[in-house]
Amino acid sequence: MPIFILLLSVLVLTLSGCAPGDNPAPSAAAPTEEEVRETARGIHDRVLTLDTHVDIPANYATPEVDPGKRGEFQVDLPKMEEGGLDAAFFIVYVGQTARTEVN
């Protein structure tokens, strides 16, 4: 999934810089996958990368779920560092308890 986001970013940034009617020269070779990856990585390294919704269990940051170690969840510090994620909003689901009657 991260490579898809990187490639999509390159596509959007590339297309946003084209004026209507601008087309690459017919003889221009399409970029290789490696060139696209390099361009995407360069963009990713220059921008703030923020995940606005990371679901975590209620026992996050406990001995059972240590965010500093690679674990079974999608997000932990090692994965954030490897992926270049700069910041995240962590979300914990809290179930509803008994409701108070309204008079």
pLDDT, tens digit, for every residue of 50-87?
A: 999 998 888 888 888 899 999 888 888 999 999 999 99
Find the mean pLDDT for residues 37-60: 92
Q: Estimate to the nearest angstrom the gap between the alpha carbon of 4 and the chain centroid.
A: 10
Q: Return the pLDDT at 12.
A: 56
55 φ, ψ (degrees, to nearest 5): -75, 130
Ordered by start, the domain boundaries in the chain are: 1-47, 48-103
- Is pLDDT above 90 for 97? no
* 45 has a pLDDT exceeding 60: yes
Cβ-contact 6, 49 below 8 angstroms: no
> Residues 51, 71: contact at Cβ < 8 Å?
no
What percent of the chain is predicted at pLDDT more than 70? 74
| String of DSSP letters for the chain | -HHHHHHHHHHHHHHHTPPTT----TTPPPPPHHHHHHHHHHHHHHS--EEEEEEE-TTBTSSSB-TTS--SSS--HHHHHHHT--EEEEEE-----PPPPP-
- Average pLDDT of the chain is 81
